[in-house]
Amino acid sequence: MLRDNALSGKTIVVTGGGTGLGRAMGTYFLKLGANVVITSRKMDVLLKTAAEMEQEAAASNKGGAKVLAVQCDVRKPEEVDEVLRKTLETFGQVHGLLNNAAGNFISPTERLSANAFSTIIDIVLKGTANCTMAVGKHWIKEKQAGTILNIVTTYAFTGSGYVVPSACAKGGVLAMTRSLAAEWGKYGIRNNAIAPGPFPTKGAWDRLLPGDMAKKFDFKNRVPLKRVGEHQELANLAAFMMSDFSGYINGEVITIDGGEWLQGAGQFNGLEAITPEMWDMLEMMTRSAKGS
Ligand code: HXC
Ligand code: NAP
């Protein structure tokens, strides 16, 4: 979507960058010329991904941008600091942070232990805060501008049963996004979020649609566009939000869900199940109500 080298000269940290959507967004940043730091708990996954990303981006990455893999559990502030240290040591500067790492699983809330609830809050909300504070403090100290992009989800604004810790955590991340947009705008630090609808990944589908649930609860039936998202569609938006082309966007959450959450919100949207013949009959009935 963006022109070649649109992110050239930038260094972007992507949490949870070894798999799924983080990997897709990181790969596109690299193709557009940015150095990319991918972090998560599993170093073997990160190293394999880093090599594959560089190979995949080789044709378009003319400036020779690099991928650095750094092990980090976002729940541990000291490991987050180490990501920043290694990033600066390798690339000299950091320009962007993509808070993408997350943990989630479906469960009736009454079946959750206190630790299960805390685990999700610790990864999603506190992990995002740990990364945001580390880079934010660095940028403020160095008097340097920066861009933070948080991956939330549409139930950050609607809430959702059966993923309550995740909904609480993502809602918190959205509040953080808007709060820091106001507070840190004066330092040239932008805070924005993307709320994706369904974009199939192994990590999410194994935990949210286990077994034959993926067939029984087919997400594409909930989406007005009748399909799920393609990873590149999300990567296009993330690259724009990370780039200087979105330089005046601050405190915004952009939904990319094919209209899914509004489909669920409109009380009569389910009437799409009605056939044209049934509409003929219903029209007769509603018209005949005129005088009643
Ligand atoms: C009930 C569960 C559980 C389950 C774990 N727990 N799975 N409780 N049902 N299915 C409980 C454990 O018993 C434990 O509590 C506590 O949660 C912590 O579990 P651990 O396994 O020790 O945690 P940890 O090793 O830190 O792993 C975190 C994880 C795991 C979240 C549980 O799934 C993970 O690593 N996920 C990372 C990737 C991921 O989740 N990706 C999907 C993101 S998708 P006790 O009390 O026993 O100690 C997403 C999409 C949103 O966010 C929108 C989609 C449309
Ligand atoms: P995924 O592949 O499971 O990605 C989650 C990543 O987070 C993994 O790489 C995981 O790596 C990392 N991670 C988990 N816990 C971590 C921790 N404590 N510290 C550091 N890294 C950690 O799933 P995904 O679908 O791509 O999800 C990516 C993001 O998109 C998440 O924020 C998710 O909420 C959001 N999202 C996804 C969808 C969708 O339809 N897929 C929809 C809306 C929003 P390790 O296991 O190696 O740590």
Q: CA-CA distance, 26 to 37, in Å (whole number)?
A: 8
Instruction: Classify the C-alpha dihedral 84-87-91-97 as positive or negative.
Output: negative
Q: Tell me the average pLDDT across 181-194.
A: 98
Is residue 220 a contact partner of residue 159, using CB atoms and an 8 Å limit? no
Residue 185 DSSP code: G
Give the residue from 88, 190, 83, 80 showing the smallest Cα distance to 133. 80
Domains of the chain plus CATH, in order, are 11-291 (3.40.50.720)
Contacts of 227 (CB under 8 A, 6+ apart): 220, 258
CB 115 near ligand 1, within 6 Å? yes
Query: Residue 194: nearest ligand to its CA?
Result: 2
Q: 264 or 20: which carries more pLDDT confidence?
A: 20
67-71 and 96-99: which strand pairing? unpaired
Tokens for 18?
A: 């070894």
Question: Where does the pLDDT of residue 292 fall: very low under 50, low under 70, confident under 90, or very high at 90 and above?
Answer: confident
| Contact indicator for 38, 50 with CB cutoff of 8 Å | yes
Residue 30 has pLDDT above 80, yes or no: yes
Q: Which pLDDT score is estimated for 195?
A: 98
Mean pLDDT rounded to a whole number for the chain: 97
Instruction: Say how many Å lie between the CA of residue 59 and the centre of ligand 1.
Output: 38
**198 close to ligand 1 (CB < 6 Angstrom):** yes
Report the pLDDT averaged over residues 128-140. 98
Strands 96-99 and 11-15 come out as parallel
Residue 290 has pLDDT above 90, yes or no: no
Q: What is the pLDDT of residues 205-234, one digit of tens each?
A: 999 999 999 888 899 999 999 999 999 999
- Sheet containing 96-99: give its strands across: 67-71, 35-40, 11-15, 96-99, 146-151, 189-196, 253-256
For residue 9, what pLDDT is reported?
97
Please give the pLDDT value at position 160. Answer: 97
Nearest to 260 by CA among 211, 209, 284, 226: 226
Q: Which helix (H) or strand (E) holds 94?
A: none
Among the bound ligands, name the one nearest to the CA of residue 151: 2
Q: What percent of the chain has pLDDT over 70?
A: 100
Structure tokens at 157: 């604004």
- SS3 at position 68: strand
pLDDT band at 235 (very low <50, low <70, confident <90, very high): very high
Q: Measure the CA–CA gap between 135 and 83, rounded to whole angstroms.
A: 10
Active site residue 187: no
Q: What is the pTM of this model?
A: 0.97
Q: Check if the beta carbon of residue 127 is closer than 8 Å to that of residue 139.
A: no
Per-residue pLDDT tens for 265-288?
Answer: 999 998 989 999 999 999 999 999
